[in-house]
Amino acid sequence: MRLFILQFLLFSFLSVSAQTTVEATYSVTSLGRQQAVEKAKSKKENQQYGDILEMMASGTTTDYRLVSDGTTSSFTKVTDEDQLKNDAPKIVILSNDYADEETSYYKHFSSHKMTETIDFLMKTYIISDTLGNLSWKLHNEEKEILGQKCYRATLGDSITAWYCMNIPISDGPGPYHGLPGLILDVEAPEAVYRCQSIITPSEAKIEREKKGKSMSKKDFEAFKKKTFNTINDRR
């Protein structure tokens, strides 16, 4: 019965969401970059570079914008002139097991496809995949985010999300989607997503996908591993 209700809600919300566009801004904290910074801070030989380490730490959180109409969406880094003007310079981290990546997501719900564009070491890679069904587990816990009542959902043992049924779009930040309302917060092993603002209805346009080298997810991960091995061999 609960599954039937969830499917009905998703169908109803997708039908309604096709009539409006939602724009939401998220702060995204890269836990991989955070760990790389902490690792650099812990080394005694790096203590003399305190200012640089602080600048590295300031780049662990970045603002992204989701624009979604319930059928198509883009989740891309905010690059407003004001933000570029006010932000501290970002230092790109490259170590023997980590390198900064800037990933954008484009979801196409009608064709059940998702595209990731990953900027990695000055080049852009395109990864196309199926927009699969995520096996969310719904919980009764509630909390308020940006004045909106939200409900808790979990994906496996390591991912927790909070979604808002008052915003009837089954979408969310990064690769996350599939709940009966807009996902506002996500805590996952790779990153933490916190919604900072919501505009609905919005006149924002869904961004076009970037161009780059097409690769499968498996091939991209193998390419990264090979890159790190090359770095280690040169040290």
Write the single-letter amino acid at 179.
L
Give the DSSP H or E segment for 25. strand 22-30
Listed range (51-60, 110-119, 140-149, 189-198) with the worst mean pLDDT: 51-60
Would you say residue 1 has pLDDT above 60? no
pLDDT at 16: 45
pLDDT at 156: 94
Compute the chain's Rg from CA coordinates.
19
CATH code of the domain containing 198: 2.50.20
Q: Domain count for the chain, please give it.
A: 1
Read off the tokens for 204: 């924002």
pLDDT at 225: 81
Would you say residue 105 has pLDDT above 60? yes
Long-range CB contacts (< 8 A, 24+ apart) of 54-60?
55/88, 55/89, 55/90, 55/91, 56/91, 56/93, 58/88, 58/90, 59/33, 59/88, 59/90, 59/91, 60/29, 60/30, 60/33, 60/34
Rounded CA separation 37/1 (Å): 48
| Sequence-ordered list of residues with C-beta below 8 angstroms from that of 140, at least 6 positions apart, any chain | 151, 152
pLDDT tens readout for residues 171-225 = 999 999 999 999 999 999 889 999 999 999 999 999 999 899 999 989 998 988 8
Listed range (131-135, 146-150, 160-164, 181-185) with the worst mean pLDDT: 131-135
* Confidence band of 232 (pLDDT split at 50, 70, 90): low
> How many C-alpha atoms does 49 have within 13 Å on its Cβ side?
14
Q: Find the mean pLDDT for residues 30-54.
A: 54
Domain of residue 222, residue span: 2-88+96-234
* Confidence band of 92 (pLDDT split at 50, 70, 90): very low
